Amino acid sequence: MWVAEGPAPDQWSLRDGNYILATFPCVVVTPAFLDLPAHLLIRLLRSDGLNVLHELEALEAASRWLMANGDGQEDLAKEILSSVRFALMSSLELKKVLSVTAGVADPKILRELMVASFTPMAQLPCRVRSLQEVLVVCGGDKVKDNLTARKPSRHLWFADRYLSAVGLVKQVEWRALGHFPDGPRFRHAVTVVGNNLYILGGKHYYGVHDTLASVYRYQPMDDSWERLASMTCGRSYFAAVALGNFIYALGGSSGELYCIDTVECYDLPLPMALCGHAACALDGELYVSGGCDEAYQCQASLLRYVPGAPVTLLAPMNGERAGHIMEEAGGQLYVAGGLCQRTGQTGYRDQLTFEVYSPKQNIWVLLSPLPRAHVVGGAAVLGGELLVLGGYSHDTYQDTHLIHAYQPGTRRWITRGTLPHAYTDLQACVLTVPPALRIVPTL
């Protein structure tokens, strides 16, 4: 179980505000949310930093609190609901306002608040809510719009807004952040250090000899690229992890060799040649999960590196996988997606199992499976959710543009939105972007 830790219900105070702002979607579904003092709830709802994917989410939270605490207090309900930014809602969201607030506020008051929010003076300070951090998608491979061929991408996109939409899929407004300075790139690796994005290796195109060793650093706050020293060899289908003051490039495919066992940054080889694996840093240690060996066999292994010590083989996953994602959250490691061997047959199938590893107990626990396949997709942790995006299904050979989010509060997966295109072999991360790139939507 993935549980958001926080203050005890009877200890909520203004000092907890930053925690609640950042993890609002997780806090709202807990009983502790109903114990928030009214003055703290109002302050949270009025904050630009409130982490909601769309403004209707803020209204739903306010209505849930009022249902438990309002007790017919009309003035309190009006003050709390006036903190919701109706001017940021889409027309579809505005149609849901009365049903969401049924039983907690007079419809006449709601209509007055909505009308008042759209006056010119009211809209002047109405800023888009968001964490300063945003989800960024880096490169990847896609099918052309006319379906005639595949076309690698050189673009970086960030998710500017999440809007309600018909059905379970939310609409995401994507904005351009930049583009790679040396052309398209896929099957690459990325890592973030101090809000600097590092792009390593990958491929421009599809040839055997087109595996890249180049490394670039991107600074989003001033939109600048810097080429750094290249790796000692080209790598694709590999993992890169930042640990301390170093960046480690682990394994991968070099073009001529299907899998390689080298780790760059210090001379420590993997115990086996791997590609298509995943890696994470946690508490000053490196973890590597799964991947394919030289015989094209998917692995269930988990390896741990401690600088200056031998590699440790830890408890294996419940199933083998390659082309998957691994992310750290709350001191634990989560793996999802990828593919695995078909039972009793040759070839591969989609791996939908989702599991979490506890370093303290050295055990894996199975969680709710992924609703759709994400082979060679991307992943990031943002706002208390694990986001898994893009990739393809090995069973159908169809690319996906879906973004699935695991919500720890409800212990389930939801469809959070869609990518600008159906990318595979992409990378994702979380960055802080300049305020100038954020825009207030046209009403």
pLDDT tens readout for residues 168-226? 667 888 989 999 999 999 999 999 998 999 999 999 998 878 899 999 999 998 889 99
Q: What's the pLDDT at 86?
A: 87
Q: Does domain 133-437 have CATH number 2.120.10.80?
A: yes
3-class secondary structure, 296 = coil
Both tokens assigned to 188? 């690459």
Asked whether 415 and 408 are in contact (CB, 8 A), the reply is no
pLDDT greater than 50 at residue 398 = yes
Q: What is the pLDDT of residue 1?
A: 27
Looking at residue 164, its pLDDT comes to: 63
**What DSSP element (H or E) covers 239?**
strand 239-243
Q: Which residue has the higher pLDDT, 130 or 388?
A: 388
Domain boundaries, the chain: 10-123, 133-437
DSSP string of 215-234, one letter each residue: EEEEETTTTEEEEEPPPSS-
Between 117 and 281, name the one with better pLDDT: 281
Determine contact, residues 290/320, Cβ cutoff 8 Å: yes
Residue 258 confidence (pLDDT): 78
Interatomic CA distance for residues 52 and 198, integer angstroms: 28
Chain-centroid distance, C-alpha 381: 4
Q: What average pLDDT is seen over the chain? A: 86
pLDDT tens for each residue of 26-80: 888 888 899 899 999 999 999 888 887 778 889 999 999 999 997 878 889 999 9
Residue at 274: amino acid letter: L
**Residue 31, SS3 per DSSP:** helix
Of 138-142, 263-267, 363-367, which gets the smallest average pLDDT?
Answer: 263-267
Cβ–Cβ under 8 Å, residues 318 and 355: yes
Reduce the DSSP state of residue 275 to 3 states and report it.
strand
What are the pLDDT digits (tens) for 330-348? 899 999 999 999 987 789 9
The Cα 406–Cα 274 span in angstroms is 28
Higher pLDDT, 283 or 88: 283
Higher pLDDT, 107 or 148: 107
Query: Do 133 and 431 contact (CB within 8 A), yes or no?
Result: yes
Distance of CA 159 to the CA centre of its chain: 10
DSSP run (H or E) holding 94: helix 91-95
Q: Would you say residue 261 has pLDDT above 80?
A: yes
Which position has the higher pLDDT, 218 or 132?
218
Q: Which two tokens stand for residue 26?
A: 């997780």
Helix (H, G, I), strand (E, B) or coil at 57: helix
Place of tokens 């007055």: 112
Residue 341 near residue 297 (C-beta atoms within 8 A): yes
pLDDT computed for residue 361 by the predictor: 96
Query: Max Cα separation, the chain?
Result: 72
Q: Determine the residue type at 261.
A: D
Q: What is the CATH number of domain 10-123?
A: 1.25.40
- Please provide residue 146's backbone torsions phi and psi, each rounded to the nearest 5 degrees: -90, 5
Query: Which has the minimum average pLDDT: 207-216, 383-392, 428-437?
Result: 428-437
What length is written for the chain? 443
Residue 155 above 50 pLDDT? yes
Q: How does strand 189-193 pair with strand 171-179?
A: unpaired
H, E, C per residue of 101-143? CCCCCCHHHHHHHHHHHCCHHHHCCCCCCCCCEEEEEECCEEE
Strand order across the 215-219 sheet:
189-193, 196-200, 215-219, 224-228
**pLDDT for the residue numbered 130:** 59
Residue 12 above 60 pLDDT? no
- In single-letter form, the type of residue at position 345 comes to Q
Q: What is the pLDDT of residue 304?
A: 95
Note the pLDDT of residue 91.
76
* Residue 247 pLDDT exceeds 80: yes
pLDDT value at position 129? 67
Tell me, what DSSP letter sits at residue 21? H
Q: How confident is the model at residue 123 (pLDDT cuts 50, 70, 90)?
A: very low
